[in-house]
Amino acid sequence: MKKTFIILCSLTILLSTSIVHAHDLWLNVKNYFPKPGEVVTIELGWGHRFPTDEVIKEGWLESIYAISPKGEKIFLKKLDPTHFSFRPQIAGIYLVAAQIKPGFLTKTTEGYKLQTKKGLKNVITCFRYDKRAKAIIQGGKKKEGISQKAGHPLELIPLKAPAQLKEGDTFPLKVIFRGEPLSKTYLFATYAGFSEEKNTFAYTTMTDEEGVGSIKILKKGKWMVKVEHKIPFPDKEECDEYLYGATLTFEVR
């Protein structure tokens, strides 16, 4: 097991330096296991170090909301540009979903520009980014499965509730892109306190033909899983690729 873990960590570092370009968006939840009626506070995570790195710029957030166990959308109270809250009223699993405003990022020999390649000189590469984030909150003691989906283009679908997990278990997730399983794609996972280095993850795996991959819960605590997917941009004179990113945060007790 130790040897396998070292190999996975080495693979993670290698892949991180090659495919992770843009900042990640994730959700930090103060209390993943509230009682019905308790206030839940959510913080926007942004950057390359989970759980805390940079502060996202005001105005970049497109939307944030919760989905109740009954599938109803709940709008969150804005406390400040990076903090939001709501009160789960009934027992069950709540899904919080967020996204930033999509845009273009072009790398040139002079640095990064938040625009397409048009009008720029010495362009190295360009992508149009779409970054989404979800968090799983367990309200009360009811431990049913997860049925909610946010409908994001690239989405991580938990196949087991985090409340059912403990240290040493595996957490199966399904990756879908535009409603279809995404096979042979990497899942990166880490927990709070694992590392303060950029783009460093505690565990890496790949999805199978059904788009399913399993994360080994190496330690109890707050976790983040992320996935990225690229497809060609139709107009190469404008940009090179679409870059989709999705994260899922949860806690294992």
Using pLDDT thresholds of 50, 70 and 90, give the confidence band for residue 18: very low
Residue range 103-117: mean pLDDT, rounded: 96
Lowest mean pLDDT among 93-97, 123-127, 144-148, 223-227: 144-148
Give the model's pLDDT for residue 141.
76
Phi-psi region of 41 (alpha: psi -120 to 50; beta: other; left: phi over 0): beta
What is the DSSP annotation of 184-231? Answer: S-EEEEEETTS--STT--SEEEE--TTSEEEEE--SSEEEEEEEEEEE
Q: Residue 157 in 3-state DSSP? A: strand
Q: Residue 141 in 3-state DSSP? A: coil
Between strands 123-139 and 92-100, the pairing is antiparallel
Residue range 21-45: mean pLDDT, rounded: 94
Rounded Cα distance between 43 and 182, Å, is 29
Give the model's pLDDT for residue 151.
94
Task: Give me 181's structure tokens.
Answer: 């399983």
> How big is the chain by its Cα radius of gyration, in Å?
18
Nearest to 126 by CA among 236, 7, 19: 236
Give how far the C-alpha of residue 6 lies from the chain's centroid of Cα atoms, to the nearest Å: 24
In this model, does residue 21 exceed pLDDT 70? no
Give the model's pLDDT for residue 146.
81
Rounded Cα distance between 199 and 179, Å, is 28
Using pLDDT thresholds of 50, 70 and 90, give the confidence band for residue 148: confident
- Tallying the residues shown for the chain, one arrives at 253
Give the model's pLDDT for residue 143.
64
Task: Give me 215's structure tokens.
Answer: 């994360």
State which H helix or E strand residue 95 sits in: strand 92-100
**15 or 228: which leads in pLDDT:** 228
Percent of the chain with pLDDT over 70: 91
